[in-house]
Amino acid sequence: MLVLSPPSFLWHGLEGLEARAAEIFNDLSRLCRVVILFDECEEFFKKRPKESVIENRTIGAFITSGMLPRLQALRDSKWTIFILATNTERDELDEAVTRLGRFDFVTKMPLPSLQAQLRYLNDKCKAFDSKTQESLQKALEEYSKSKPPPKRRHTNSLTFSVIDQLIEAVKESGAVTDVGKLVSHIKELAGGPPSLA
């Protein structure tokens, strides 16, 4: 398993992206029986504007144009499996990236449902007294009913990582039973970087 993220491509800054991408894909073309994960690389594959006027094109559009043939060549070699993991919706990616033949499968992995969050919380909180457990459960339920943070499109779901951070915060501060304070703390944690939310 080989994981590549934007810093792998931006080693020499934005100016060196093209040369670095050529170098990386040249190395990738020599691999056999490897799973390659392009993690958080959606900026390289974002939807390009429809206008064909060069002055209107963003640097992202040029990056996408440069990445697509390399991605296709990697797929055509059939020696590796590659995965693009993103935090964006499929409709935000360029159609040339998501078209049939570029990727074999597209799977949406939503954030855990409230029921899954509560099960996870119960498994992790067995050391807490029943009052603290109950307060944490109520806080998750209350948070799920509140308005989603600005960075989220349609959901108030939390990752298990955010729930772990909440549990650690409760452990450090002692038993917290104030549901309002817990909900506020969940909002702070969920309002962090999108990759952690």
Predicted pLDDT at 13: 78
- Determine whether 139 is exposed, middle or buried from the number of CB atoms within 10 Å of its CB (0-12, 13-18, 19+): buried
Residues in the chain, how many? 197
Written as six digits, the tokens of 64 are 């996408």
| DSSP letter for each residue of the chain | -EEE-HHHH-TTTGGGHHHHHHHHHHHHTT--SEEEEEES-GGGGBPPPS---GGG--HHHHHHHHHHHHHHHHHHH-SEEEEEE-SS-GGGB-HHHHSBTTBS-----PPPPHHHHHHHHHHHTTTS-HHHHHHHHHHHHHHHHSPPPTT-SS-----HHHHHHHHHHHHHH-----HHHHHHHHHHHHTS-TTT-
186: exposed, middle or buried (C-beta count within 10 Å: 0-12, 13-18, 19+)?
A: buried
pLDDT under 70: residue ranges of the chain? 50-64, 148-155, 175, 192-197
Q: What is the pLDDT of residue 46?
A: 80
According to the model, what pLDDT value does residue 56 have?
A: 44
pLDDT tens, 67-124? 788 888 888 888 888 888 887 888 888 888 877 777 888 888 888 889 999 999 999 9
Nearest to 24 by CA among 38, 8, 37, 39: 8
